[in-house]
Structure 1
């Protein structure tokens, strides 16, 4: 039950905002998370798939069928909204069974299927409760059960955890992922939470200004960003402009560092990406890429402290994190410096 996009484009009337020539496929049973800055086209993509917005060019196909002329109720797509969108006048069981009743399924079998889904999401004991008596996390699981009740060919998750407290978000994130895998649901997740995307997704799509910048595994998106734009958006980092001096040697202006240059030629402009967790403090001996300086702003985060390290001559500090603060020097191992073409 794959969900595919082929040269999908859409512009909001009178603007240049929308989507530009998007092409990728959500494979059967796969969860792809879509992330990007505000206005990148994340929500537009979901609206086009669901049928809530129309007028696109290109193609959206679900299990090989083009969705262009299909009304919302014929698309067989389950959707979980940020605000749950449950019916307050119905109890939990009837909320889950709602889509089945719309499809003219008799009351007894629809309730039986809804009860089985409540069992799957761990809410059997709440079947007769009013949804207003449930916590936010419980309501979200009811919304997920309702979306799955119709045996959708695709599942759309629109910021499903954004309205929840941080204390329960991580636990519910894992539950949703477990349920999605159990039902082998072909899923498109839109989120502004990068940690949520990296933790839940099989692959992550990064959008900016309606364009697809990169689609890859969470590990590759974080460790092998395809461009400076992806690197700047995903995770914390410091990115310095520079140039290649020779094989595996770069010049950042304030320091010459050893880093894998691969096939880049001397004089080529690059950007050097360094993640804070790869910065070593007061390394022993005489390691490669030793940089002396001073500690600037500090942020205590519990398990670690995140801090700015000012290197003389650099136009911005190097962001680092560790359990202790350096006395006078840091280093970044060559293999942990990622070079991006300018």
Structure 2
């Protein structure tokens, strides 16, 4: 089941916030993660697909069927909410079976299906337990089982892990991805957690101010952002204004670097992008793009330390990573420099 948004626009009454001409597709069995700053339109997109918001321009289609006039309960879409939205008066089994009950599936068949899903998410022994007696991670798995019980045409995940402790998130993230792949579920995931998006998704879509800036595989989004806005939002980096000095040469004002300038003419305004893991501390003499300076503020992260490397004349420090940040020079391999056109 493919999910297609074709030139979708929507504005909340009395506001310019919403979505503006967004087009994307989620292929059958694919997981697409949608990320972006607060107010970028992530939740609006999910509400439009689910039918919780209506009145959009453009087309939303599921396996070729236009959903514009299809009510929520007829879209046959499973949704996992950030707050889980479980029913406290029902036990775990009846929560999972609830959607099947609404579809008038016979009692024994729906309870059998609910038990199968609970076994799949590792909660078979909790079938008779009250949901209030479950941990946050367990409640999230119940919500996922409930969404899958109806054999949905598509699956929508709204910040599914944001309320959980970091120690739980990583394990449950892997579980959700494995179950999604097992069901071959066409899935749209909205999250503010970039690590979650990059590790779970087949492709990542970046929204800002209601517009789609880029959709691509996680590696491409991170290594080859299409614009300065994407580069600023996805991952950590050093982003500095520069001009092309000559073919293969970049003028930063305080230094000149070797860089892949492509077909850009001399004088073209660009921004240099370099990720912290690509900066080399104390490279040997003769290495390209050696810059003297000093290590500044440090942030200990366990296996490595992230630190600011201050270069005289630079408008801001270079963000670098190292196991022992005591560098007096840094080197920036030209192949790891990305140029973004202004």
**TM-score computed with the length of structure 1 as normaliser:** 0.99
SS of corresponding position for 2:339:
strand
2:333 corresponds to which residue?
333
Rounded to whole Å, the distance in 1 between the matches of 2:325 and 2:118 is: 49
Unaligned runs of 5+ in 2: none
Rounded to whole Å, the distance in 1 between the matches of 2:208 and 2:327 is: 40
2:150 corresponds to which residue?
150
**Per-residue deviation, residues 75-127 of structure 1 (Å, max 9, x unmatched):** 10000001100011111111100000110011100000111111111111111
Rounded to whole Å, the distance in 1 between the matches of 2:229 and 2:289 is: 25
2:132 corresponds to which residue?
132
Unaligned runs of 5+ in 1: none
The structural deviation recorded for 1:285 is 2.6
Rounded to whole Å, the distance in 1 between the matches of 2:186 and 2:328 is: 51
The structural deviation recorded for 1:325 is 1.2
**Per-residue deviation, residues 31-85 of structure 1 (Å, max 9, x unmatched):** 0000000110000000111111111000100111111111110010000001100
**Per-residue deviation, residues 247-267 of structure 1 (Å, max 9, x unmatched):** 111001111011111111111
Rounded to whole Å, the distance in 2 between the matches of 1:59 and 1:134 is: 40
The structural deviation recorded for 1:13 is 1.1
The structure 1 segments of at least 4 consecutive aligned residues displaced by more than 2 Å after TM superposition are: none
1:286 corresponds to which residue?
286
1:19 matched to 2:19: yes
1:74 corresponds to which residue?
74
Rounded to whole Å, the distance in 2 between the matches of 1:7 and 1:300 is: 45
Rounded to whole Å, the distance in 2 between the matches of 1:153 and 1:294 is: 56
Rounded to whole Å, the distance in 2 between the matches of 1:324 and 1:86 is: 48
2:276 corresponds to which residue?
276
1:105 corresponds to which residue?
105
2:313 corresponds to which residue?
313
SS of corresponding position for 2:235:
coil
The structural deviation recorded for 1:246 is 1.3
Rounded to whole Å, the distance in 2 between the matches of 1:318 and 1:47 is: 40
Q: Which moved more, 1:269-278 or 1:322-331?
A: 322-331
Aligned residues: 342
**Per-residue deviation, residues 174-198 of structure 1 (Å, max 9, x unmatched):** 0000000000000000000000000
Alignment of 1:246-285 (within 5 A): 246-285=246-285
The structural deviation recorded for 1:10 is 0.2
Rounded to whole Å, the distance in 2 between the matches of 1:33 and 1:146 is: 21
1:206 corresponds to which residue?
206
Alignment of 1:33-48 (within 5 A): 33-48=33-48
Rounded to whole Å, the distance in 2 between the matches of 1:327 and 1:233 is: 27
Rounded to whole Å, the distance in 2 between the matches of 1:154 and 1:96 is: 17
The structural deviation recorded for 1:327 is 3.4
SS of corresponding position for 1:119:
helix
**Per-residue deviation, residues 143-189 of structure 1 (Å, max 9, x unmatched):** 00000011110100000000000111011000000000000000000
**TM-score computed with the length of structure 2 as normaliser:** 0.99
**Per-residue deviation, residues 235-287 of structure 1 (Å, max 9, x unmatched):** 00010100111111100111101111111111111100011111110112320
Rounded to whole Å, the distance in 1 between the matches of 2:78 and 2:43 is: 15
**Per-residue deviation, residues 207-240 of structure 1 (Å, max 9, x unmatched):** 0000000000000000000000000000000101
Alignment of 1:225-244 (within 5 A): 225-244=225-244
Rounded to whole Å, the distance in 2 between the matches of 1:36 and 1:62 is: 24
Rounded to whole Å, the distance in 1 between the matches of 2:149 and 2:85 is: 15
1:184 corresponds to which residue?
184
**Per-residue deviation, residues 274-326 of structure 1 (Å, max 9, x unmatched):** 11111110112320000001111111111111111110000111111110113
SS of corresponding position for 1:16:
coil
Q: Which moved more, 1:196-205 or 1:281-290?
A: 281-290
Rounded to whole Å, the distance in 2 between the matches of 1:325 and 1:31 is: 38
